[in-house]
């Protein structure tokens, strides 16, 4: 790894008590370029703009994917990553689906650890606070021709964050727009997936909803995801979540929730969720909770579901009654080193790792 530390840290301008989401970036970034059929040296360098042109193929033809993950600081100042191997596996699945070169585990894991170590002062400590990490791969060749690019960049940037949503949200069940189609790129974290979601979300916002529950493209009769999150539904004391497919992202937080629920003996079923079943359960008083999970939000509870011309208001549960809240606490306690980690998910980032690189 090539190391170039900044001589002008901006940490003095960072206020850990006044954090937005994704607005301020740490002092350094990781960069690695692909050319002539191979990846070059990984570089840790000062964060800043890079020289690209509007003819860059990633901008014109959409070869771009990314990951979302976090680093956490405990009360003793120690720093941890959470299940980074899952994100490594998934970014390569995304790259393969988009015909981009896969990266090595050393590039990904060592790059993350080096970046987090050198800028550990940027990682805020406290409830809901963390360092959001964004590994990404995108085409950089300067050419206007619809083909696979010959040049790429792997990068990691990071931003201190606090909780994405602080209150439950209302969501609209889509009966027209879909997030992904069979045979498409729904199970890849392709940048274009998010661009295509913005317009339907804007329409939902105009109706008074913060997000969308995406339904299947063929019939709109089954839940798939919610906004940029995986979705969970609790009917009585059973949790349901859709199985992953080529339309549904294999979320790390989703998998963690499933494993935590099983460990606690909660009845959880990974199976298709019919919209009609959810509506009927609400009518019968059996629909207890619906929530979304993802790296950025961890957990977002839904207070109402919009379906056609109806607004299905969900029960208000106490923290003790809510599966969503208690499972979130289990997960966050593991991530932030406040509880034992029976799964081996927590990965400690040793201090001064750059001295051994």
Q: Using one digit for the tens of pLDDT, what is the confidence trace for 30-49?
A: 999 999 999 999 999 999 99
Count Cβ atoms below 10 Å from residue 267 Cβ, excluding itself: 12
Domain co-membership, 185 together with 315: yes
Among 118, 138, 162, which residue terminates a domain?
Answer: 162
Give the domain-ending residue among 97, 132, 162. Answer: 162
Q: Are residues 119 and 220 in the same domain?
A: no
Average pLDDT over residues 324-328: 97
Mean pLDDT on 69-78: 96
Asked, for residue 9, whether it belongs to a domain, the answer is yes
Please state the domain count of the chain: 2
Asked, for residue 117, whether it belongs to a domain, the answer is yes
Q: What is the pTM of this model?
A: 0.95
100 and 82, same structural domain?
yes
User: Which of 162, 190, 220 delimits the end of a domain?
Assistant: 162
* Alpha carbon distance 339, 277 (integer Å): 37
Domain identity same for 181 and 219: yes
- Consecutive H or E run containing 116: helix 111-118
Please give the residue range of the domain that contains residue 95.
2-162
151 and 186 co-located in one domain: no
Q: Which residues lie closer than 8 Å to 113 by C-beta, 6 or more apart? A: 81, 349, 350, 353
Q: pLDDT tens digit string along 239-282?
A: 999 999 999 999 999 999 999 999 999 999 999 999 999 999 99
Lowest-pLDDT choice from 18-22, 254-258, 322-326: 18-22
Band (pLDDT 50/70/90 cuts) for residue 19 is confident
133, with CB counted inside 10 A (0-12, 13-18, 19+), is buried
Confidence of residue 354 (pLDDT cuts 50, 70, 90): low
Residue 295 falls inside a structural domain: yes
Taking each helix axis as running N to C, give the angle between helix 252-263 and helix 84-97, from 0 to 180 degrees, rounded to the nearest 10.
140
Residue 62 has pLDDT above 70, yes or no: yes
Could you tell me what percentage of the chain is helix, strand and coil, using 3-state DSSP and rounding each to the nearest 5?
A: 25, 30, 45
Burial of 163 (0-12, 13-18, 19+ CB in 10 A): middle
- Give a yes or no: residue 349 inside a domain: no
CB 98 within 8 A of CB 186: no
Residues 91 and 19 in one domain: yes
Does 100 lie in the same domain as 28? yes
343 inside domain: no
Asked if the structure places residue 355 within a domain, the reply is no
- On whether both 148 and 200 belong to a single domain, the answer is no
Q: How many CB atoms lie within 10 A of CB 207?
A: 10
Assign residue 49 the CATH number of its domain.
Answer: 3.30.470.10
pLDDT digits (tens, 9 = 90+) for 160-215: 998 877 789 999 999 999 999 999 999 999 999 999 999 999 999 999 999 999 99
What is the pLDDT at residue 352?
79
Query: Is 291 part of any domain?
Result: yes
Residue 102 sits in the same domain as residue 205: no
DSSP 109: I
The answer to the question of residue 357 being in a domain is no
Same domain, 137 and 264: no
Q: Are residues 289 and 319 in the same domain?
A: yes
Q: Are residues 77 and 216 in the same domain?
A: no
Q: Which CATH number covers residue 308?
A: 3.20.10.10
């Amino acid at each position: 790894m090539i190391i170039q530390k900044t001589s002008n840290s901006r940490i003095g301008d960072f206020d850990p008590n006044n954090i937005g989401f994704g607005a301020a970036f740490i002092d350094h970034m990781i960069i690695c370029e692909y050319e002539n059929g191979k990846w070059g040296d990984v570089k840790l360098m000062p964060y800043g703009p890079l020289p690209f042109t509007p003819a860059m193929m990633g901008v014109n033809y959409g070869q771009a994917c990314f990951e979302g993950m976090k680093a956490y600081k405990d009360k003793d100042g120690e720093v941890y990553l959470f299940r980074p191997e899952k994100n490594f596996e998934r970014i390569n699945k995304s790259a393969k689906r988009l015909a981009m070169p896969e990266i090595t585990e050393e590039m990904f894991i060592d790059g993350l650890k080096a970046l987090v170590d050198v800028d550990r002062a940027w990682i805020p400590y406290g409830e809901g606070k963390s360092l959001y990490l964004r590994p990404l791969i995108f085409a950089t060749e300067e050419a206007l021709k619809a083909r696979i690019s010959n040049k790429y960049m792997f990068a990691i940037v990071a931003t201190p964050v606090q909780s994405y949503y602080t209150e439950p949200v209302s969501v609209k069940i889509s009966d027209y727009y879909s997030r992904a189609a069979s045979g498409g790129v729904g199970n890849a974290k392709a940048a274009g997936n998010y661009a295509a979601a913005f317009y339907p979300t804007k329409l939902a916002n105009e109706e008074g909803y913060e997000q969308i529950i995406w339904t299947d493209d063929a019939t709109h009769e089954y839940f798939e995801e919610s906004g940029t999150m995986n979705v969970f539904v609790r009917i009585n004391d059973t949790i349901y979540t859709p199985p992953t497919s080529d339309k549904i992202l294999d979320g790390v937080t989703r998998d963690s929730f499933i494993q935590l629920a099983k460990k606690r003996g909660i009845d959880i079923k990974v199976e298709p969720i019919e919209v009609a079943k959810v509506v009927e359960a609400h009518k019968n008083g059996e629909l207890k909770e619906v929530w979304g999970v993802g790296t950025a939000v961890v957990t977002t509870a839904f207070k109402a579901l919009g379906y056609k011309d109806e607004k299905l208001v969900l029960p208000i549960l106490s923290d003790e009654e809510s599966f969503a809240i208690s499972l979130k606490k289990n997960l966050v306690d593991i991530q932030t080193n406040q509880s034992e980690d029976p799964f081996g998910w927590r990965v400690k980032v040793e201090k001064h790792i750059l001295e051994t690189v």
